Structure formats: structure tokens, C-alpha cells
Amino acid sequence: MFTTDRLIARLWEHTDAERAYDLYARWEVARWLGAAPRALESPAEVPAMIDRWRARSADPRYGVWALERRDTGVVAGSVMLLPLPLPDEDGSGNGEVEVGWHLHPDSWGRGYATEAARAALAKGFADGLTEIHAVVRPGNERSAAVCRRLGMTPRGRTSRWYGGEFDAFLATPDR
């Protein structure tokens, strides 16, 4: 998919299941995700989740990718570039695209989210996108700080996506 100095963004594999479960079963991660946050309850949920991510990555412009550290081979988390669904849509989107990241707590505070998101934004713009949004749950100061480090423009609070209230940020190729 793409690389950075320290990370490889690649498809999630079923061999990553243990790490995916360790990441998404943690409430300190899951609490910030989606309109109705829920931590995974069982490792049995992971194969279907990985299959969904791989299906969403079929179009090479978009995806949910594992972030593998180049130095250790450990998956630090996920980075995504996906069409944004409106609350009443089937998930196909309306032309708006989101960049996002979910990192394991053992990878927090190392700049991986900013590094991966910057590369995902560059990929999206190289693929012809003219705007990319970030959607952050209110109170998620770590992700809001990543948006600021990326130079994204704060757009205020919105309920436009995911059926909940979120803080919106916008990136354009010139920022």
C-alpha cells in the first residue's frame, strides 16, 4: 500500500488476528471508535473483522491497513482512508473521504499516527482527492492533536457522519 520511514501500511492478514484482538478489545482504544463504541469481546470476532477490512481495501484508492513497524515487524495499529457514509447510507459514501488511525497503547506517543496519516493523506491526494476529512469523537485530544500536527483545518462539531456528534477536520492538498 505505502511506506514511511518507520512504518509499512499493508493489508491486514489473518496471521495478525492476535494483535488485532489485543488492540480492538481494549476499551481505551475502542471508546473513541464509531457512533456506538464497543470493544471486541472475543477473539472469534477478529476473522470477520479482518475480512471486512480486506473487502474495504479492494479498491486500491481506499482501505483499512495494518501499520507494521519496520524495526520490529510488530503491528502498531491501523490507518485508513475510506469513503465517509452519511448516517442513513449503506456505507458507500457520498464522495467524501476520511483518514483515520487506531493505535495500540504500546505505540502511543511515538508519532506513528501522524506519520501514517500524513502518508495516507499524500496517497489520497496523489490518487486525485481534493479534500480528506478526519472525524474525531469529542474529548479524544490525542487524535485532535494529530489533526492539528497534520495541518488539518478544524470544521467544528457535526452529526453529518456515523449517526453521532463528532469534531470534524479537513485536509486539502495545499495544507
- CA–CA separation, 40 and 30 (whole Å): 8
Backbone CA torsion sign across 136, 31, 159, 97: positive
Q: How far apart (Å, rounded) are the C-alpha atoms in residues 2 and 167?
A: 27
CATH number at residue 160: 3.40.630.30
Which residues span the domain enclosing 60?
Answer: 2-171
Q: Is the pTM of this model over 0.95?
A: no
Total structural domains in the chain?
1
Which pLDDT score, from 0 to 100, does residue 1 have? 83
Neighbours of 129 (CB within 10 A): 20
Cα 95 from chain centroid?
A: 17
Instruction: Look at the alpha carbons of 36, 40, 46, 48 in this order and tell me if their dihedral is positive or negative.
Output: negative
CB neighbour class for 154 (10 Å; exposed up to 12, middle 13-18, buried from 19) = middle
Question: pLDDT digit string (tens) for 43-102?
Answer: 999 999 999 999 999 999 999 999 999 999 999 999 999 998 765 555 555 679 999 999
